[in-house]
Structure 1
Amino acid sequence: MSEENKHSGGQLNLLVATEQVDAVCEWVRGALVKEPVEVTRPLAEESLLEIYFDSLLEAEIALKALPETLPVQTAEAKEYLEQDWTTFWHHHFKTMELGQNLRIVPEWEEAPVDGKTNIIINPGLSFGTGGHFTTKFCLEALEDAFRTLDIQTMIDAGTGSGILSIAARKLGIPDIVAFDYDPVCVEQCNENAARNGVGGKIHFFQADVLEPGWHTQPADLVCANILTSVLLEAAPLIKRAAKKRILLSGIREIEADAVADTFIQLGCKEVSRDGDGQWCGIVIDV
């Protein structure tokens, strides 16, 4: 793929009943080794999952590979162009004020200079702009943890665009490692870090949160903005990786008790939780 078309390729769209999203996402990750992007309106009964490939042919092959038993209502493979993606983000991603001192700014907008911490993001094909409740929750909980605890080290599991790690570094946390299952995210994270003047100051790498070995030593703070099914399975590894606090999100509100109970059974304590009627985040102390 040429440099000028590096964000062009194939797209597989899956329309799924909202209660079936987790099951379909798990299949996509296991069978296609891709991270789906969920596009859902609040309280909607249906969700659109978008999976991106390097070429239309790959998307068409993935479409044919969908098992008949997968709970998908409709499926479509299509080509997307770089300008389609750019137009999407320019329309949906705007400057946002978060917490007490954070501001998320799209790369194509001018960042105000007023003493607040500006985080410059171009999401590319990665997840994480601060617009989704789960990312917003983690950013505000991260700022609170930095303000109230002595946080020197952090692990960002499922980093997406790198937005949490970049915010943490700009707040003043000196030692941060961040990983994602998708190598495209890791590339985008390094680019976003460079945009924010923290290039080379965060260690981004590819790893699977379900596989041991993504941390060599515990960190003061662990952020895990991952779907519930993965959080439940990875809970023992996440707990062992944290010394002080864990920020959990990517959780549907109806699943929050199950996630909290899992970590409580591992010896943790729930500090707080918040939700928007559909998604939820939980603050856990170790």
Structure 2
Amino acid sequence: MGVIIYLNHLNQPTMSSAATKDTTVWQISIEVPKCLDEPVTELLSALLEQPASAYCPLESDSAIVSAFITERSQWSRERNHQLKRQVLEFFPGETKNQNWKATCRKIKANDWQESWKRHFKPLEIGSRLLIKPSWNRRKPRKSQSLIVLDPGLSFGTGQHATTRFCLEEIERLQSKLNNPSLLDVGTGSGILAIAAAKLGYIPVKAFDFDPDSVTVTRDNAESNDVSDLIRVSRSDLTKLKPETASKYDLVCANLMHDLLKSHAETILNRLKPGGYLLLAGILTEQFPAVKECFQRLGCKQIKTQIEKEWKSGSFQLPA
């Protein structure tokens, strides 16, 4: 029998959780080659210091990277040029002969929300998870756990390769471990922690440095009736004290590569001997350095997955 998970969005908090149907926002849209949808999304998110994401029409070779802002001044000509320079510098081959198309238009929140009903389709992840919006009538198979997800003001569709890898591994490893526990480092919307709680992990702990993410995760956990199974807190890797660390059977760290390398020992201090570590959010060319860092500390690589520009890995600490 499947479990049902209700979420406001996947893996990222909404740009403005206080937005109402009459809120006026500005949508930044940048057309890029489809192969650059996720790297440009990461760059735009870092530039604005808030979530951005991408929509990839199946019939097109291009993707639309978008973000939503509440003040027009947040997107200036200087910021547009800064992002363009970064993309051209990091991806000269992919952007050769490509025109830079960036727009910023005023919209109402309810106009955006209604438009998503035409684009947001059910998505299967692994063999036991199905993500769909609340308005879709598709039923899960008996073996599937259902995630009911309505997007907020960011394009969190569940198609990000790193999130999908983590969900698949959480599902796979649950049957290999005895009464497993889980730590979600950088929880975002809490989807990994909520999925783990629904699949039987106990205890489950999640933390994030962003207070909005902590609020969103708590709200999502409560709406899914797992708030008593997940301990959510605001923290970051620099505040974790190794000498007092609780240890877990599975640790998920979906973070930028520089954070993974600089805090590798802190992350491993949270892992039980024989436990598993999921590392995601890493560009393919950056993965070897991350892998070497954790292998040097005693981890064995168990599994990797490459999708588009992203590479994720599952590691095990010796018993």
Instruction: Tell whether 2:133 aligns with 1:117.
Output: no
Q: Which moved more, 1:251-260 or 1:80-89?
A: 80-89
**Among candidates 221, 225, 228, match of residue 250 of structure 2:** 221
Deviation at 1:246? 0.9
In 2 relative to 1, CA 195–107 (structure 1 residues): closer, same or farther, beyond 3 Å? farther
Number of aligned residue pairs: give it. 281
Instruction: Tell whether 2:283 aligns with 1:252.
Output: yes
Matches within 5 A, 1:2-81: 4-5=20-21, 8-13=24-29, 25=42, 29=46, 32-37=48-53, 49-53=65-69, 55-60=70-75, 64=78, 71=86, 76-81=103-108
Paired residue type of 1:213: L
Instruction: Tell whether 2:283 aligns with 1:283.
Output: no
**What are the Cα deviations for residues 149-203 of structure 1, in whole angstroms up to 9, with x where unaligned?**
1253211122233221111111011221223344443333334334433245323
Structure 2 CA distance for aligned equivalents of residues 10 and 79 of structure 1: 4
Instruction: Tell whether 2:128 aligns with 1:101.
Output: yes
Deviation at 1:3? 5.7
Structure 2 CA distance for aligned equivalents of residues 245 and 193 of structure 1: 24
Q: Which structure 1 segments of 5+ residues have no match?
A: none
**Among candidates 151, 163, 167, match of residue 135 of structure 1:** 163
What's 1:185 paired with?
A: 213
What's 1:272 paired with?
A: 303
Structure 1 CA distance for aligned equivalents of residues 198 and 222 of structure 2: 12
Q: Which moved more, 1:257-266 or 1:110-119?
A: 110-119
Structure index of larger Rg: 2
Paired residue type of 1:71: Q
Structure 2 CA distance for aligned equivalents of residues 157 and 125 of structure 1: 23
In 2 relative to 1, CA 227–6 (structure 1 residues): closer, same or farther, beyond 3 Å? farther
Structure 2 CA distance for aligned equivalents of residues 112 and 249 of structure 1: 30
Structure 2 CA distance for aligned equivalents of residues 160 and 171 of structure 1: 19
TM-score between the two structures when normalised by the length of structure 2: 0.70
Whether the aligned pair in 1 keeps the contact of 2:41 and 2:53 (CA below 8 Å) is no
What's 1:241 paired with?
A: 270
Structure 2 CA distance for aligned equivalents of residues 20 and 95 of structure 1: 20
What's 1:150 paired with?
A: 178
Give the alignment's Cα RMSD to 1 decimal. Answer: 3.8
Structure 2 CA distance for aligned equivalents of residues 78 and 128 of structure 1: 20
In 2 relative to 1, CA 235–265 (structure 1 residues): closer, same or farther, beyond 3 Å? same
Paired residue type of 2:303: S
Structure 1 CA distance for aligned equivalents of residues 262 and 160 of structure 2: 23
Q: Which moved more, 1:261-270 or 1:222-231?
A: 222-231
**What are the Cα deviations for residues 10-67 of structure 1, in whole angstroms up to 9, with x where unaligned?**
44456789789869957964x754344356789x9997654433x224524x665678
Q: Which structure 2 segments of 5+ residues have no match?
A: 1-15, 88-99
Whether the aligned pair in 2 keeps the contact of 1:126 and 1:185 (CA below 8 Å) is no
Structure 1 CA distance for aligned equivalents of residues 103 and 292 of structure 2: 38
Structure 2 CA distance for aligned equivalents of residues 5 and 239 of structure 1: 44
Whether the aligned pair in 2 keeps the contact of 1:124 and 1:188 (CA below 8 Å) is no
Structure 1 CA distance for aligned equivalents of residues 262 and 43 of structure 2: 12
Structure 2 CA distance for aligned equivalents of residues 159 and 65 of structure 1: 28
TM-score between the two structures when normalised by the length of structure 1: 0.77
Q: Which moved more, 1:5-14 or 1:268-277?
A: 5-14
Whether the aligned pair in 2 keeps the contact of 1:129 and 1:163 (CA below 8 Å) is no
In 2 relative to 1, CA 118–45 (structure 1 residues): closer, same or farther, beyond 3 Å? closer
Deviation at 1:127? 6.9
Structure 1 CA distance for aligned equivalents of residues 23 and 212 of structure 2: 10
